[in-house]
């Protein structure tokens, strides 16, 4: 319970951790000058900026120059695609059928310029068919951009397998890692990709700041000759938001657990949220009025998604369930905040092969630091009410 309500939409955004807010405030007080200025206070801020960059790099086992600060995952993704457009007149890009809107919008911009955009189909769990990797990722591909953990249905893609193929053919590989870091710290040098996008507010940090992780190959690709791009190794423009960067560092420092990889799977250390998720799934698993969406096994540890059916076995519209929950001080969602408010059917479920009458009915529950078992007991009680009510 948080301020008399239960918050279960941490995939949308997370509350700011107290020590993160303290870090932001102290940085505003002590390092408020422009870090690009050449006088003493500016140089002091520049030194603090690079020290913070180095600390983040150490946590992720990255080189200091691998860390590019952006406003968040959407900008990071946009930077990758816009540089691709600037460098090549036309080409081929591979994305999946379950990407976030930021990737879809960027890909569509290229498509209007004559680029070949291949959307990799997914199975009923929302995961790409691994057996198609040689057919999909070919020599004429300029970029592969894949979402690691899907925010609406929680499924995880086999990023290491994709990265292995991209490396074999010397193709740039970008990962949308927005939902990942709240579940553990990964080793950047072990991850087989060239670029990765992150947003701090998804893991207890401030809004308006994020990362684009790079390597030497991708940085040389991103470096722009436009003289107006003066920040972050000439990759972006804008005054560096040092207090937000410091807050993001503290939020990364707060993250518990590790992420490891097999050839085609992502493995998370068992944490509190996964224990809660498993507890809730055990409660709903044998109820015929609930259908889990996404993968059971390859899923974000803090993520549960399902379709709710009424007593007549008709899918209940998600907005009815969400509004009822909200009236009872429980906050959940139907998927990405960027798309769930549109009132349109779920493109993700449609691409996974769901029936048309179920496309408005996906419910998402995403767990965070302040959730506990009693929150899920209350949610379960209200779900049973919804089955009878609607």
Q: Which residue has the tokens 């591979």?
A: 94
Task: Report the DSSP beta bridge partners of residue 268.
Answer: 259
Average pLDDT over residues 31-37: 93
Average pLDDT over residues 115-135: 96
Q: What is the DSSP letter of 120?
A: E
Residue 68, classified by CB atoms within 10 Å of its CB into exposed (0-12), middle (13-18) or buried (19+), is buried
Tens of pLDDT, residues 267-325: 999 999 999 999 999 999 989 999 999 999 999 999 999 999 999 999 999 999 999 99
* Residues 317, 223 within the same domain: no
Tens of pLDDT, residues 328-350: 999 999 975 554 455 689 999 99
* Share above pLDDT 70 across residues of the chain, in percent, rounded to a whole number: 95
pLDDT of residue 1: 45
* Residues 128, 68 within the same domain: yes
pLDDT of residue 143: 98
Average pLDDT over residues 180-197: 97
* Residues 154, 247 within the same domain: yes
* Residues 234, 307 within the same domain: no
* Residues 208, 357 within the same domain: no
3-state secondary structure 241-279: CHHHHHHHHHHHHHCCCEEEECCCCEEECCCHHHHHHHH
* Residues 168, 241 within the same domain: yes
Q: How confident is the model at residue 226 (pLDDT cuts 50, 70, 90)?
A: low
Range of lowest pLDDT (171-180, 198-207, 221-230, 287-296) = 221-230
- Residue 1 in any domain: the answer is no
Which pair of tokens denotes residue 373?
Answer: 């078992």
* Residues 185, 218 within the same domain: yes
Q: How many CB atoms lie within 10 A of CB 325?
A: 24
* Residues 245, 327 within the same domain: no
What CATH code is carried by the domain that includes residue 107?
A: 3.40.640.10
Range of lowest pLDDT (105-114, 223-232, 275-284, 321-330) = 223-232
User: How far is 189 from 186, CA to CA, in rounded Å?
Assistant: 9
Distances (CA, A) of 40 to 30, 89, 243: 13, 44, 18
Domain count, the chain: 2
* Residues 299, 214 within the same domain: no
Mean pLDDT of the chain: 94
User: How far is 252 from 209, CA to CA, in rounded Å?
Assistant: 12
Given 261, 292, 313, which residue is the final one in a domain? Answer: 261
pTM: 0.95
Which pair of tokens denotes residue 130?
Answer: 């691994």
Q: Helix count (H) and strand count (E) of the chain?
A: 13, 14
Given 214, 233, 261, which residue is the final one in a domain? Answer: 261
Residue 48 has pLDDT above 80, yes or no: yes
* Residues 106, 174 within the same domain: yes
Range of the domain at 325: 6-15+270-389
What CATH code is carried by the domain that includes residue 294?
A: 3.90.1150.10
Residue 256, classified by CB atoms within 10 Å of its CB into exposed (0-12), middle (13-18) or buried (19+), is exposed
- Residue 34 in any domain: the answer is yes
Residue 233 has pLDDT above 50, yes or no: yes
User: How far is 360 from 351, CA to CA, in rounded Å?
Assistant: 13
Residue 223 has pLDDT above 80, yes or no: no
Range of lowest pLDDT (88-97, 177-186, 233-242, 248-257) = 233-242
Given 261, 288, 310, which residue is the final one in a domain? Answer: 261
pLDDT of residue 91: 97
Residue 308, classified by CB atoms within 10 Å of its CB into exposed (0-12), middle (13-18) or buried (19+), is buried
Average pLDDT over residues 36-60: 96
151: three-class secondary structure by DSSP: coil
Cβ pair 183, 273 in contact under 8 A: yes
Residue 262 has pLDDT above 90, yes or no: no
* Residues 207, 122 within the same domain: yes
């Amino acid at each position: 319970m948080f301020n008399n309500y239960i918050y279960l939409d941490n995939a949308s955004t997370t509350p700011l951790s107290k020590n993160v807010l303290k870090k932001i405030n102290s940085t505003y007080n002590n390092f408020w000058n422009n870090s690009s200025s050449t006088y003493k206070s500016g140089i002091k801020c520049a030194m603090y900026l690079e020290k913070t960059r180095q600390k983040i790099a150490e946590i992720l086992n990255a080189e200091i120059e691998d860390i590019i600060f952006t406003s968040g995952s959407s900008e990071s993704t946009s930077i990758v695609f816009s540089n691709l457009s600037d460098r090549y007149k036309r080409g081929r890009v591979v994305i999946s059928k379950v990407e976030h809107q930021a990737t879809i919008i960027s890909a569509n911009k290229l498509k209007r310029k004559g680029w070949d955009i291949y959307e990799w189909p997914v199975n009923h769990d929302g995961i790409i068919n691994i057996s198609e990797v040689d057919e999909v990722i070919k020599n004429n591909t300029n970029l592969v951009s894949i979402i690691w953990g899907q925010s609406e249905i929680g499924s995880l893609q086999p990023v290491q397998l994709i990265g292995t193929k991209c490396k074999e053919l010397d193709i740039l590989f970008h990962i949308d890692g927005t939902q990942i870091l709240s579940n553990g710290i990964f080793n950047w040098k072990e991850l087989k990709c060239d670029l990765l996008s992150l947003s701090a507010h998804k893991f207890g940090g401030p809004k308006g700041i994020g990362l684009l992780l790079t390597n030497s190959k991708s940085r040389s690709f991103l470096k722009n000759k436009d003289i107006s791009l003066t920040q972050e190794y000439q990759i972006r423009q804008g005054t560096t938001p040092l207090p937000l960067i410091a807050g993001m560092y503290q939020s990364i420092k707060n993250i518990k657990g590790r992420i490891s990889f097999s050839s085609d799977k992502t493995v998370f250390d068992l944490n509190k949220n996964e224990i809660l998720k498993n507890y809730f799934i055990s409660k709903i698993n044998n109820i015929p009025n609930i259908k889990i969406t996404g993968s059971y096994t390859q899923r974000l540890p803090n993520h549960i998604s399902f379709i709710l059916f009424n007593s007549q076995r008709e899918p209940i519209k998600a907005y009815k369930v969400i509004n009822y929950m909200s009236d009872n001080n429980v906050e959940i969602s139907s998927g990405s905040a960027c798309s769930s408010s549109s009132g349109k059917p779920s493109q993700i479920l449609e691409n996974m092969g769901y029936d048309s009458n179920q496309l408005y009915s996906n419910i998402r529950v995403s767990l965070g630091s302040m959730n506990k078992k009693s929150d899920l007991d209350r949610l379960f009680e209200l779900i049973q009410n919804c089955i009878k009510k609607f």
